[in-house]
Amino acid sequence: MEIVQIEKILYKPQFVPDTGSYIDASPFKHRSRNNPLYECRCQAGSFFNTNSQFKQHCQKKTHKIFLDDYLYYYKDADISKQEIKEYRIENEKLQRKLDKCMGLIRLREQEIAFLNGIQDANVKESDDEFEDASDGIYS
């Protein structure tokens, strides 16, 4: 029995700044094997995992329409997903930093409470040990 790859990678065309349009660039090397499975949003159920499948897919009319309209329909969504991913990563880093600082604050509060307890014990001991010398003489 062969292991089936469930995770799919979403295909995104490359932007050409000179022309201001998007072009297809193969995500695979020529004659490569065991490639990841890519999914294209031009049509439901369009998958490819070899260079030849990718080239055949790019010849379809629906894919050409998708490529022409990519700027209007999908670019913003892709950018938004990437930004959300980056914000989640940043949020997790900041959350871990906050947890570390809160741990340090709790540790310092415990140290302060311990030192206050020692100081209170010293004050009670000093009150018990010393008596005013003048109390016994003039009574």
Domain assignment of residue 69, yes or no: yes
| Structural domain count, the chain | 1
Domain assignment of residue 68, yes or no: yes
Domain assignment of residue 33, yes or no: yes
Kindly report, residue by residue over 102-120, the tens digit of the pLDDT. 999 999 999 999 998 888 8
Domain assignment of residue 3, yes or no: no
Kindly report, residue by residue over 21-74, the tens digit of the pLDDT. 888 888 888 888 888 889 998 888 888 888 899 999 999 999 999 888 888 888
Domain assignment of residue 105, yes or no: yes
Kindly report, residue by residue over 75-97, the tens digit of the pLDDT. 888 889 889 999 999 999 999 99
For residue 96, give its domain range.
9-126
Of the chain, the end-to-end C-alpha distance in Å amounts to 104
Higher pLDDT: 128 or 24? It is 24
Which of 13, 81, 5 lies closest to 42 in space, CA to CA?
A: 13
Which residue reads 């022309």 in tokens? 19
Domain assignment of residue 2, yes or no: no
Cβ-based neighbour number of residue 10 at 10 Å: 11
pTM exceeds 0.95 = no
What is the distance between the alpha carbons of residues 53 and 46, in angstroms, rounded to a whole number? 10
Domain assignment of residue 96, yes or no: yes
Domain assignment of residue 136, yes or no: no
Cβ-based neighbour number of residue 22 at 10 Å: 19
CB-neighbour burial class of residue 123 (10 A; exposed 0-12, middle 13-18, buried 19+): exposed
